[in-house]
Structure formats: C-alpha cells, structure tokens
Structure 1
Amino acid sequence: MSFSIRASSVRKQAATAAAAATLFGVLMEVLQGVAGTGRDFDPVDMVANLIGSVLGGFIFLALHHFVDKYFTTLKSQQ
C-alpha cells in the first residue's frame, strides 16, 4: 500500500468523522428546539459545533502524522 493512498484514506476518515459530528450537532440543536424540554434552538451553538468538529479533524490529522512518523522511525531503528 502506498503512502499517498493511506494518507488519502486517513484524510477521508477525518473528514467523514468531522461531517458526522457536525450533522449530529445540528440534529441535537434542532431537537432541542422541537422537543419541548425547555432548551432553545441556538444557531450560535451550531456554529460552535461546526468549529469544534473541524478543529477536531485537524488535530486528529496532525497527531496521526506525528504518531505515524514516530513509529516509522522506531521501526527503522530496530
């Protein structure tokens, strides 16, 4: 398996996870407004959820890159 295919797969997984987290956040905000639990729909919370999802995806990619590089270096030293 080449590095570019693997990297693309990891990026796709991170993007899918961020999209799913964003969709979940939007769904929760809509349900809060509809469910009648005393909580209000707040579009600012949806934006905060989106920002958190995207940042989480970027942090995952950065950590994955460094961890992968670290273990590759360890394997080559053995």
Structure 2
Amino acid sequence: MCSLACRRAWVWTAVFCAAATAAHAQINRGLPEELQGVGVDEKLDAQLPLDLWFTDSDGKRVQLREFFGRRRPVMLTFNYFRC
C-alpha cells in the first residue's frame, strides 16, 4: 500500500501533467485571411533553368548553375534567415 507521501507525490505528478498538457493546448481559429488560398504546389522531378539568379545567405548574387557539378547534392529552399 502507498504511504501518504507516496499518494501526495502521485497527486502532484498528476497535477503537473495536467497543467503541462493544458499549457500546450491552443485554440484553432483557422487560417488568417492573408493565408487563405496559400499552398504548396509540388513539382517533383521538374527542372529549373540553371541561369536563374538568387541571393545567397551572405547577400551575394549567385547563379543557380554555380552550385551544380561539385559532386554534391543541391537542396534549394526558399526561406528567410533574418527579416
């Protein structure tokens, strides 16, 4: 049988778990109006023209072809490093 201290420990553990679960709960209000209709169109196996220009993480303009032919895979992601 569990002692009083053991029961208190179980009660506090249950309270902590319930509070932690509630802290992570969020209300789903749907997408903001600005994001309605925004999505991702996958173009698997599609090829990009290698003469496209981009700005790298150092702010330097680079042509896409500069990244190919180095015997390494190329992963192109469109994201911000800072605002």
Is this a same-fold pair by TM over 0.5? no
TM-score by length of 1: 0.35
Instruction: From the CA coordinates, give the structure whose radius of gyration is larger.
Output: 2
TM-score by length of 2: 0.33
Q: Work out which structure has the larger RCO, using CA pairs closer than 8 Å and 6 or more positions apart in sequence.
A: 1
Q: Which has the higher helix share?
A: 1
